């Protein structure tokens, strides 16, 4: 009987303050959705670092007028170098095929790029990636058939710095939204408690405990947090289906970036939904203890 009463009070409270309840749910959903996005980006960055930094390479791009003798001399020098762990030669045709795979989702870019636009190169994996300068000094730019020597580690540092910035910005906005959601929850609970003060006073007079009179309000906030969390998870699922699996399908297939699997969505969904329920319940409890007499 007591359980039924508490649940009926929760349902009544959610319906009575419908507009504020909807606002609370939507604000919570947005903040949790942004938090989930930030967590997924962080996971992607971690996977990409494992993939790229373990295979970081130095690219030796050859000049257009490189001769067979110069090409063979570079190969021989790479084979003899103690700094080189492994290397592969990539012709113009192979470079163009790889380019078409990487940008398969951007046909206009592929069509406007002629096959001879990409240079042939040697992709060099170093024993110690930090010793890029040694290779750069052995193959100076513009000499002996070498057009340019490029350290992909510098590019990766800039790339991951950009991705980390996007992650931090997303999480910062999420925390601001979360603060707004918690303030809205606090105000909603105060209003709900004020509107039902006669009922709660009567309950206290007939012997109901403070905890028993507070429980419906705490559950109201928790239910709102739960619904907001589920909406946020739905947003993550929709983002995966419409953006990650479609728009980013080409770069993911080519191995440029890592995808987002359903296990990550489920794990992140559990985290943000649990956080939404817990934060809402705690905010409600603190509000009742500090500002409301029940």
- 57-108 pLDDT, tens per residue? 788 889 888 899 999 988 999 898 888 888 889 888 888 888 887 777 677 8
Same domain assignment for residues 99 and 181: no
Domain with 14, as residue range(s), is 2-52+157-291
Nearest Cα residue to 225 out of 176, 279, 172: 279
Q: How confident is the model at residue 231 (pLDDT cuts 50, 70, 90)?
A: very high
Domain count across the chain: 2
pLDDT tens column, 174-219: 888 888 888 888 888 787 777 666 566 565 555 556 666 677 888 8
pLDDT tens column, 143-177: 888 888 887 767 667 777 887 888 888 889 888 88
CATH of the domain at 142: 3.30.70.3040
The mean of the pLDDT values for the chain is 81
Q: How many CB atoms lie within 10 A of CB 132?
A: 21
Same domain assignment for residues 248 and 236: yes
Instruction: With a cut of 50, say whether residue 1 has pLDDT above it.
Output: no
Same domain assignment for residues 73 and 167: no
Name 129's bridge partners: none
């Amino acid at each position: 009987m007591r359980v039924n009463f508490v649940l009926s009070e929760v349902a009544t409270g959610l319906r009575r303050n419908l507009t504020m309840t909807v606002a609370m749910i939507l604000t919570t959903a947005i903040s949790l959705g942004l938090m989930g996005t930030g967590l997924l980006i962080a996971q992607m960055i971690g996977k990409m670092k494992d993939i790229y930094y373990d295979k970081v390479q130095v690219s030796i791009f050859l000049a257009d007028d490189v001769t067979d003798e110069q090409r063979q001399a570079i190969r021989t020098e790479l084979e003899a170098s103690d700094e080189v762990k492994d290397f592969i030669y990539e012709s113009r045709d192979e470079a163009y095929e790889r380019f078409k795979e990487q940008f398969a989702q951007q046909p206009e870019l592929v069509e406007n790029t002629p096959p001879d636009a990409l240079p042939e190169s040697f992709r060099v994996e170093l024993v110690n990636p930090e010793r890029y300068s040694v290779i750069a000094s052995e193959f100076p730019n513009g000499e002996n058939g070498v057009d340019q020597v490029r350290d992909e580690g510098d590019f990766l540092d800039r790339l991951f710095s950009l991705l980390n910035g996007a992650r931090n910005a997303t999480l910062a906005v999420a925390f601001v939204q979360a603060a707004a959601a918690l303030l809205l929850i606090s105000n909603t609970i105060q209003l709900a408690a004020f509107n039902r003060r006669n009922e709660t006073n009567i309950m206290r007079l007939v012997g109901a405990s403070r905890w028993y009179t507070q429980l419906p309000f705490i559950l109201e906030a928790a239910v709102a947090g739960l619904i907001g969390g589920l909406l946020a998870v739905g947003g993550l699922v929709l983002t995966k289906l419409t953006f990650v699996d479609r728009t980013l399908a080409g770069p993911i297939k080519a191995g440029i970036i890592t995808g987002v699997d359903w296990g990550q969505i489920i794990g992140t969904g559990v985290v943000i939904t649990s956080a939404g329920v817990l934060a809402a319940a705690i905010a409600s409890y603190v509000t009742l203890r500090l500002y409301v007499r029940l």
